[in-house]
Amino acid sequence: MLGLFAGGCASLTKATPTAPPPQIVSPPQTPAQVVTVPEPAQPSVPVTQPPPRAQTFQPTDWRALPDWGDDSLAEALPALLRSCDSLKSQPEWQSACAGAAQNSRADPAAARQFFESSFVPYSVHNADGSTEGMVTGYFEPLLRGSRKPSKTYSFPVYGVPDDLLVVDLAEAQPNLKGLRLRGRLQGNKVVPYYTRAQIERGEAAVRGREILWVDDAVDLFFLQIQGSGRVKLANGDIVRVGFAEHNGHPYTSIGRVLIERGELPPDKASMQGIKQWAKQNPDLLPVLLQQNPAYVFFREMPNSLPGPVGALGVALTPGRSIAIDSSVVPLGAPVFLSSTWPLSVRPLNRLVIAQDTGSAIKGAVRADFFWGFGDEAGQIAGRMRQSGRMWLLYPRGFNPPAY
């Protein structure tokens, strides 16, 4: 779920004339004197070198991973096998994925032996060399909705509009792998797609792209942040929806907006705190939501799926899947995460699999922990904003990207 607006401008600058070569002046035939003025010396401009970028992945040993020996590693094998559905054709993953399949029913000791013999741990470092970053949480919410609009169900869940243009930049520049330009055509130019405010004002071509209508604007907003969810219809049927595309605009935290305005203290700017603020300020809510210009479009998903589908294209596993910045951490790879449970110092040290991305998930040491489905998962995820460290597990015999 990564949006990028690429652009640039060229300026035309009048060239400075080149100084003519010095002339040799013959002795004058008259008493007049010829005076030559030397060209002024050009000052030298010092060149400053950028500081060296820290190595993103640094090899270490298993003893460096907090509580590595206490985690139930066999619980992570099913999630890894789902990653292998996408990775097994890549040379560096073939042996590890074959081993995961052979150990799918392994006991704890055998599972540990598999991971330690098949992978090498690498500590993950930010660009400045630091090893700590933010760990947040997300979940799969349940909304109430309808196939038809009504006074009760008046907030549309949109599918992808026909005029949304998505360009894979790697097709033009291979070094831009994973980056996409999202916009729309205006004449013969590509311009940014409509913002949330413009979409909600009806400026975008979204009429007729409605999948469902739901009964709560805040729930719809958080559905877009989570990227997937389920909608319960009046007859009891459940419709599962998943991320399809987004408008390419950067994510802005409305919790941060409320903090900066002094309307919520930092410890109350959780999903629950924002929902409470919305109930108390219904007239101000639309303007607040529009402070986040990012907008997500959905598609209907099969109910037979074991979980929501992440950016890797496989179902997520509660408690064992995370979202990462895929421009740094390779999608599908195991990651050992060391953090704490929400609003506590209780350790949360476990092996997870990088299977999703998010527009707000940027940086090397940055993770969004998937808690699962429903209200209980939402209560935990909505309060999670912890510090954490990460170790990438990469197949033995191969170097990770950017190593």
The larger pLDDT score, comparing residue 105 to residue 129, is at: 129
Within a 10 A sphere around the Cβ of 69, how many other Cβ atoms?
10
Q: Which residues contact 328 (CB under 8 A, 6 or more apart)?
A: 56, 124, 363, 364, 402
pLDDT band at 104 (very low <50, low <70, confident <90, very high): confident
Q: How many CA atoms lie within 13 A of 191 on its CB side?
A: 7
Sign of the C-alpha dihedral, residues 170, 176, 180, 185?
negative
Is 57 a residue whose pLDDT tops 90?
yes
Beta strands 165-168 and 155-158 are unpaired
Give the amino acid at 63.
R
- pLDDT, one tens digit per residue, over 253-268 is 999 999 999 999 998 8
pLDDT band at 389 (very low <50, low <70, confident <90, very high): very high
Cα(149)–Cα(154) distance, integer angstroms: 5
Mean pLDDT over 135-143 rounds to 97
Cα(270)–Cα(266) distance, integer angstroms: 8
Please give the share of the chain, as a percent, with pLDDT higher than 90. 78
Cα(113)–Cα(294) distance, integer angstroms: 44
Question: DSSP label at 109?
Answer: H
Say what the pTM is: 0.81
For the chain, what is the mean pLDDT?
88
Is 144 a residue whose pLDDT tops 90?
yes
Mean pLDDT over 114-141 rounds to 97
Q: How many residues does the chain have?
A: 403
- pLDDT, one tens digit per residue, over 291-337 is 999 999 999 999 999 999 999 999 999 999 999 999 999 999 999 99
- pLDDT, one tens digit per residue, over 199-231 is 999 999 999 999 999 999 999 999 999 999 999
Cα(144)–Cα(274) distance, integer angstroms: 19
Looking at residue 7, its pLDDT comes to 36
Looking at residue 30, its pLDDT comes to 41
Looking at residue 67, its pLDDT comes to 96
Is 387 a residue whose pLDDT tops 80?
yes
Looking at residue 330, its pLDDT comes to 96
Mean pLDDT over 27-54 rounds to 48
pLDDT band at 49 (very low <50, low <70, confident <90, very high): low
Q: Which of 218, 227, 73, 56 is nearest to 140 (CA)?
A: 227
Cα(95)–Cα(115) distance, integer angstroms: 12
Is 29 a residue whose pLDDT tops 60?
no
Looking at residue 179, its pLDDT comes to 75
Q: Find out whether 229 and 223 touch, Cβ atoms under 8 Å.
A: yes
Query: What dihedral angle (degrees, nearest 10) is formed by the CA atoms of 312, 313, 315, 316?
Result: 20
- pLDDT, one tens digit per residue, over 332-368 is 999 999 999 998 999 999 999 999 998 889 999 999 9
- pLDDT, one tens digit per residue, over 153-177 is 999 999 999 999 998 876 777 776 6
